[in-house]
Amino acid sequence: MTRAIAFHATLASLLFVWGVAAQAQTPASGTPASKAPDLAKGAAIASQVCAACHAADGNATGNAYPKLAGQHAEYLVKQLSDFKSGERANPIMAPYAAALSTQDMENVAAYFSGQKQNPSAAKNKDTLALGRKIFRGGIAEKHVPACASCHGPTGAGIPVQYPRISGQWEEYTEAQLVAFRSGARKNSVPMAAIASRLSDAEIKAVADYIAGLR
């Protein structure tokens, strides 16, 4: 654990220095309007900073970290911005996001968006029916809307509005739903309201179903 903390602290320090250098090139009059994403610069950030947790191509090999490959760039930029502002609290991501300019965020988000996701798979056949029901039809008696109504029938999401969730680690999706339910994650009012009506069993079932969506 100590080595892991030290590793993240070292990366954060390097990114901070890199970020300061980048900011030094920004005109004193203010931050210029963002340009078209630079995929080469995005790839550099991904390989030098993000790869330790998310892998260089965005296909995180550990289920504690989300897969970023194929995610909508707009969603990734919003999450990085929320990490930077503190709206989404995360002690690991906060220092990395703090060192990124808006252009940096757009560059790395565009890079990950263009990568191909290695999807996960549903593992629990006993909860498959419940997960399918929640995803496709919701739970009317609990006023829980179908996940598909926002994220699409295959979980591909809608750029700008809703993230892609298909093929994501079951454990990560479950953790985020629990965080929304508890109030630990606060950067989506609709998701907090929906998660507050789900039981542990329902969260596990729909998270497992989502992992197997293509």
Domain span at 167: 125-211
Q: Is 186 exposed, middle or buried (0-12, 13-18, 19+ CB in 10 A)?
A: middle
- Confidence at residue 33, expressed as pLDDT on a 0 to 100 scale: 52
Whether 135 and 209 have beta carbons less than 8 Å apart is answered as yes
Residues 44 and 18 occupy one common structural domain: yes
- Confidence at residue 29, expressed as pLDDT on a 0 to 100 scale: 38
Q: For residue 66, what is the domain's CATH number?
A: 1.10.760.10
- Confidence at residue 160, expressed as pLDDT on a 0 to 100 scale: 87
The pTM (predicted TM-score) of the whole model is 0.85
Residues 6 and 78 occupy one common structural domain: yes
- Confidence at residue 9, expressed as pLDDT on a 0 to 100 scale: 42
Decide if 120 is inside a domain.
Answer: no
| Ordered mean pLDDT values, 10 residues apiece, the chain (214 residues) | 42 42 39 79 98 98 96 98 98 97 98 97 97 98 98 95 97 98 97 98 98 96
- Confidence at residue 4, expressed as pLDDT on a 0 to 100 scale: 44
Residues 130 and 197 occupy one common structural domain: yes
- Confidence at residue 2, expressed as pLDDT on a 0 to 100 scale: 41
Decide if 118 is inside a domain.
Answer: no
- Confidence at residue 10, expressed as pLDDT on a 0 to 100 scale: 41
Decide if 172 is inside a domain.
Answer: yes
Residues 108 and 193 occupy one common structural domain: no
DSSP string, 49-89: IIHHHH-TTS--SSTTS---TT--HHHHHHHHHHHHHTSS-
